[in-house]
Amino acid sequence: MAMVCLTDFEEYAKEHLSKATWDYYAAGADECCTRDDNLLAYKRIRLRPRILRDVSASDTRTTVQGTEISFPVGIAPTAFHCLAWHEGEVATARATEALNTCYITSTYSTCSVEEIVAAAPNGYRWFQLYVYRDRKLSEQIVHRVELLGYKALVLTVDVPYTGKRRNDIRNQFKLPPHLKVKNLDGVFQETAGPEGYGIPSNTLDPSISWKDVYWLQSITRLPIIIKGILTKEDAELAVEHGVQGIIVSNHGGRQLDGGPASIDALSEIVDTVQGRIEVYLDGGIRTGSDVLKALALGAKCVFIGRPAVWGLAYKGEDGVREVLQILNDEFRLSMALSGCRNVAEINRNLIQLSRL
């Protein structure tokens, strides 16, 4: 079967992954309202195309944190890629290297950061970080990825506690015995307590606060990007605390149910930041026109989570490449049909908010 759009990959993954694995990737918190609204919100946004603009040549390149990438779509940090494909994150890293875009490696990878770098030595990578009760553990990981050439730290701030994902509870989801959270292998052997998502469930630090941003800045020279901001108030605090970027994100609707869709939160954050730092977005990107809408509302780049996993489930590295290539092709086409020849020509004049 020809894979024409990202929905084709979704249907393949749903059919071929085990129920527990599919449910884990698909899960939203509680009633999944925010997860579903992440997608529906894009359908409420209409484009205002300009015509007769000579779109015979188009350029999708952009930069993130000063580094050029081939188009403004990267891979968001998602856990446990080996559940979808035996090579896991190694395959994801090769695919993103091949397409010259950004891969945010998850702390909860089933391949180690060293294995990922060895597999795709020229890839452009950021590392997604949680803050643990044991700060030394976070510090050790930061120094590991810094030495390996990761180019930024993405601090996830919306998980003081894990959201309630009903199907994971019903399925009693656990990593199968042959898989591990490789970056933390052996670290928690002495820690008592029930296991949640591959490591003991009480290891993340719910006391994390803005002062921890200063702490992180004190132990690294890498740019710090905060993932999980949904309000203008927190965007302003992020700027005041000297971070280099924000990812507008609701964790794929997996944390607080009833919060805004990412794309609906974007405008107020962009308006508050006023270009002082870069603003990115994840959540709900399924087509090239979704990418165009996010950029028109002020995102510098977007990141995809679940679609990358669907690509892995379909055909490993080649599947992720296909997912990224489809998005690239669709984005280029949407740009041209809207009268934009390059990313710099995309702006808010392209957007009409319709009442659905």
Instruction: Mark the binding-site residues for FMN, compressed into ranges.
Output: 77-79, 106, 128, 130, 156, 227, 249, 282-286, 305-306
Q: Quick one: how far is CA 267 from the chain centroid? A: 19
- Catalytic status, residue 81: no
Phi, psi of 279 (to 5 degrees): -120, 130
Query: For strand 195-196 and strand 199-200, is the pairing parallel, antiparallel, or unpaired?
Result: antiparallel
Q: Which of 16, 86, 178, 251 is catalytic?
A: 251
DSSP 342: B
The structure tokens 């921890």 sit at 212
Annotated binding site: 24, 77-79, 106, 128, 130, 156, 165, 227, 249, 251, 254, 282-286, 305-306
CA–CA dist 73, 65 (Å, integer): 14
Query: For strand 351-353 and strand 301-304, is the pairing parallel, antiparallel, or unpaired?
Result: unpaired
CA–CA dist 346, 338 (Å, integer): 9
Return the sign of the alpha-carbon dihedral for residues 284, 281, 252, 69: positive
Annotated binding site for glyoxylate: 24, 165, 251, 254
**Residue 245's beta-bridge partner residues?**
225, 278
CA–CA dist 355, 322 (Å, integer): 34
Q: Which two tokens stand for residue 281?
A: 């977005």
For 95-153, the DSSP string reads HHHHTT-EEEE-TT-SS-HHHHHHHSTT-EEEEEE--BSSHHHHHHHHHHHHHHT---E
CA–CA dist 240, 263 (Å, integer): 23
Residues annotated as catalytic (active site), given as ranges: 251
